[in-house]
Chain A
């Protein structure tokens, strides 16, 4: 594929960094959950979707399923509710990743927003079917905030890959 002009050439990714970032966002997600604000973005979903787009051979539905189960157990939610949402999210981003690579981060955010909404909607649907009623309007804000955070994730998570090829004394980073 031809790269758009002006895009920096990225270093190969370090798989350990991917796993570490997922673990850290799992921790952050668990901590954010304790605040009981329904509009807080699901940062784990954001990181998962981000790596599904940028490293689809490393991060996929299997990892999403496992992380979803962890979140379910921590939240005391229906077991499998977040797992299903994350599997769906990973699948949908996997369908889009080729196309997304041609866009800038803000344009990508616009395209992943519906995916975040769909994944969250699967959770709302599951809970409605389980007899728990609608989650309230504030919950709709969460997937949109996730999409807004996409450029930030792009900046943060790709930072290690933007370093110079051969670091020396003049270019330490």
Chain B
């Protein structure tokens, strides 16, 4: 057995590096600085990106057992289940075909009318299909990690949608992955419009009320809102394109002692399926006034906002 193992050498008497307390102080200070840089200043992106790239082989390894189980489950899954699914999908496709043709006609009509009225055209931007890798383990926030990053052209602040509606917004981009903050996160907000009345509100994530819950804040008690009202994005923030489904009003609570109503909304895009679509931000959209001011004054654009500002 070799003798130059760590236990067999005598402990160093003089050369011990920094004192223990100094090491504690330095490292704690460093982590505190990192936290402030991360939370307040938004400066930690290089550290995060580097660590993320270094970690990606480990993450890949960790995800393998789950994938294998999924694949095995699919393989052994019942045939009739798949047939049933295919039948219902076909029925849906037929049902939607008619609507699709209507929509095409309406789009043409709309384009003509907009041209007549000299309104800005609604353009469909480029998009990219992504797959959900995992939900962030952090219990305080509602985030998912998807499998495309900077190298695949995902941009910070892009809206992320699902077949049923808006899912959230890309809040961190790494070279190989990106993090999407769900609409239901505490710090996330989205400007919405009530399809029935055309009134505009802001929906905030409300994780305390349960999974997939949003709430409308600052709604006057006299507002015309009913249970079942459909809310779609209004597009006022320049992040989410207008007209995407956000959620449905589930209850309106008008109280005597408050001049605001409490309005609960259930988000459309609950976690179903693994495939999402990232909509790239539009270059033609007018910049946020503050960003425009920043650009004009020659400063770097403001760091990524966690909140979609309406």
Report A's interface with B, CB cutoff 8 A. Answer: 11-15, 26-27, 30-31, 33-34, 36, 38, 55, 57-58, 60-62, 64-65, 68-70, 72-81, 83-84, 87-88, 91, 94, 126-127, 130, 132-133, 135-136, 139, 165-166
Contact = CB atoms under 8 A, between A and B. Distances in A.
B31 interface: yes
Interface in B137-151: 137-141, 143, 145
A134 to B, nearest CB: 10
B139 A26 contact: no
Contacts of B140: 77, 127, 132-133, 135
Contacts of B1: 11-12, 165-166
B212 to A, nearest CB: 15
Contacts of A135: 139-140
A13 B32 contact: no
Looking at A15, A58, A70, the one whose CB has the most chain B CB atoms below 10 A away is A70
22 contacts: A11-B1, A12-B5, A27-B58, A30-B58, A31-B62, A34-B62, A34-B134, A70-B54, A74-B55, A74-B58, A74-B59, A77-B140, A77-B141, A78-B35, A79-B44, A80-B32, A80-B34, A81-B31, A83-B27, A83-B34, A84-B35, A133-B140
Interface in B1-35: 1, 5-8, 11, 20, 23-24, 27-28, 30-35
B52 A73 contact: yes
A12 B8 CA distance: 7
A139 B134 CA distance: 21
Instruction: Sort A-B residue pairs by CB-CB distance and give the 10 closest, nearest first.
Output: A33-B137, A80-B34, A76-B136, A12-B7, A12-B5, A80-B31, A79-B38, A84-B31, A80-B35, A132-B140
B6 A12 contact: yes
Interface of B: 1, 5-8, 11, 20, 23-24, 27-28, 30-35, 37-39, 44, 47-48, 51-52, 54-55, 58-59, 61-62, 65-66, 134-141, 143, 145, 172, 179, 186
B47 to A, nearest CB: 7
Given A80-B32, A84-B31, 19 more contacts: A12-B6, A15-B6, A31-B62, A34-B137, A57-B11, A65-B27, A70-B54, A76-B138, A76-B141, A76-B172, A77-B136, A77-B138, A78-B38, A79-B34, A80-B31, A80-B35, A88-B28, A132-B186, A136-B139
A13 B34 contact: no
Contacts of A14: 5
A69 B44 CA distance: 12
Given A78-B38, A126-B35, A73 B28 contact: no
Main secondary structure of the interface of A (DSSP, over half): helix
Contacts of B20: 91, 94
A139 B31 CA distance: 22
Contacts of A27: 58, 61-62
Contacts of A132: 140-141, 186
Contacts of A70: 51, 54-55, 58
Nearest to A57: B6
Contacts of B35: 78-81, 84, 126, 130
Looking at A65, A68, A78, A139, the one whose CB has the most chain B CB atoms below 10 A away is A78
Contacts of A165: 1
Nearest to B23: A61
